[in-house]
Amino acid sequence: MFRTYRKVLVISGLIFCLFSSVFAYSGGTGEPNNPYQIATVSDWNDLMHSSADWNKNFIMTADVNLQGVTLTPVGNSTNKFTGVFDGNNHIIRNVDINMPASYYVGLFGYIGSGGRVCKLGGENVRIIGYNYVGGLVGENYYGTIAACYTTGSVTGTDTGPGYIGYIGGLVGWNLGTISASYTRCTVTGDDYVGGLVGDSAGVVIDCYAMGAVFGGRCVGGLVGRNKGTVDRCYAAGTVDEGDYVGGLVGWNTDLNDVNTSFWDIETSGQTTSAGGEGKTTAEMKTLSTFTPAGWDFDYTDGDAADWFIQIDEYPILTWQISPADIYTDGRNNFRDFALFAQYWMRKDCAIYNNYCDWADLNFDGVVDINDLKEFMSYWLEEGIYN
């Protein structure tokens, strides 16, 4: 795929039109079966400045470090992002967007109907906007966000009479679906401020938030104001005092729409919430708190579990577990290597004990040099519980 640009050169009163062709992104055509490939800072710049592509398909093929890059959101209220962005389990690091007077601020400013962002991590984000501000998305308007996370800080600057707000660690305002996602962001705003979502009239399911939340009105550890559905979620971050403040949800229009969800009454500093059940830290780190509520931790039912919990730790999403975490304790260390060595050169893994306790990393039935190469690529990478 080539893209053509026209350059106009004036020499001695004559106009010469020169055409130059450059590769679009790192490959692909933007079609569903051949998405544009995002692998470099240049690729992200192309995406950021090419609103005509915001209805196309993208896939990340490498992590991208945006440190020092002047950034603006992908998608806005005029040109929404309605394409598909598959992070492919890659990370965008050092996202710094400083737009204190702007609406719809985030790595993706505005996701429109049918838009989808999945399997994407945003680490060390610093997002500043006026309102509709999120660590990943400013507004999710009937789009889908799945298996994503953010770490860092999110700030909304809109304060005073007539303020709107909508400030969230992942999404500012959600009218779509957010699933299997989490945040560890410090979130600061005035009105409708949440650790995961500032205001949600959509669906939030199988998510959690761990960061501190500071606001004035409708402030929640997970959702500031909920007008939609919250299922199987939890929050464990500090929540400051204000009007309509809750450990999980600050203000909820229908208490029946917050189901099987919890917050930590000790770490949050909040004993009340507009929905959900408050638990002690010890209870939040105990499997029996969650299984009676229908949370899926079961690896033996023939289907992949949604959640995992280690002794004396909070639940995490199963996709967070590294392939090298063979011991499955949320850490990558010598316990994993010992288990891997136990199955070395075993050739019946396709039928034995879940691919030899997952030591057969490429699922070809044998634990061999190919699995060792993949294992070493994750060796001593920080696990979720480190």
Burial of 152 (0-12, 13-18, 19+ CB in 10 A): buried
DSSP 364: S
Higher pLDDT pick, 7 / 301: 301
Residue 13 above 70 pLDDT? Answer: no
Share of the chain above pLDDT 90, in %: 73
User: What is the distance between the alpha carbons of residues 175 and 195, in angstroms, rounded to a whole number?
Assistant: 17
User: What is the distance between the alpha carbons of residues 336 and 304, in angstroms, rounded to a whole number?
Assistant: 21
> Which CATH number is 29-287's, of 3.30.230.10, 2.160.20.110, 1.10.510.10, 2.60.120.460?
2.160.20.110
Beta strand 64-65 with 96-105 is unpaired
Higher pLDDT pick, 266 / 163: 266
Confidence band for 381, pLDDT divided at 50, 70 and 90 = low
The mean of the pLDDT values for the chain is: 89
Residue 330 near residue 383 (C-beta atoms within 8 A): yes
pLDDT at 356: 86
Share of the chain above pLDDT 70, in %: 90
Residue 2's φ and ψ, nearest 5 degrees, are -120, 150
Confidence band for 385, pLDDT divided at 50, 70 and 90 = low
Six-digit token string for 304: 């992949």
User: What is the distance between the alpha carbons of residues 154 and 258, in angstroms, rounded to a whole number?
Assistant: 25
pLDDT at 310: 84
Per-domain residue ranges for the chain? Answer: 29-287, 324-386
Q: Strand pairing partners for 43?
A: none
SS3 helix, strand, coil % of the chain, rounded to 5? 15, 40, 45
Of 154-158, 232-236, 346-350, 355-359, give the lowest mean pLDDT range: 355-359
User: What is the distance between the alpha carbons of residues 129 and 173, in angstroms, rounded to a whole number?
Assistant: 13
Other CB atoms within a 10 A radius of the CB of residue 196 amount to 35
Confidence band for 322, pLDDT divided at 50, 70 and 90 = confident
Residue 16 above 50 pLDDT? Answer: no
Over residues 199-205, the mean pLDDT reads: 97
DSSP states along 182-250? EEEEEEE-SEEEESSEEEESSEEES-EE-S-EE-SEEEESSEEEESSEEES-EE-S-B---EEEESSEE
> Which CATH number is 324-386's, of 1.10.1330, 3.30.70, 3.30.160, 2.60.40?
1.10.1330
- Degrees to nearest 5, angle at CA 282 with 281 and 288: 120
Confidence band for 59, pLDDT divided at 50, 70 and 90 = very high
Beta strand 229-231 with 203-205 is parallel
Residue 107 near residue 122 (C-beta atoms within 8 A): yes
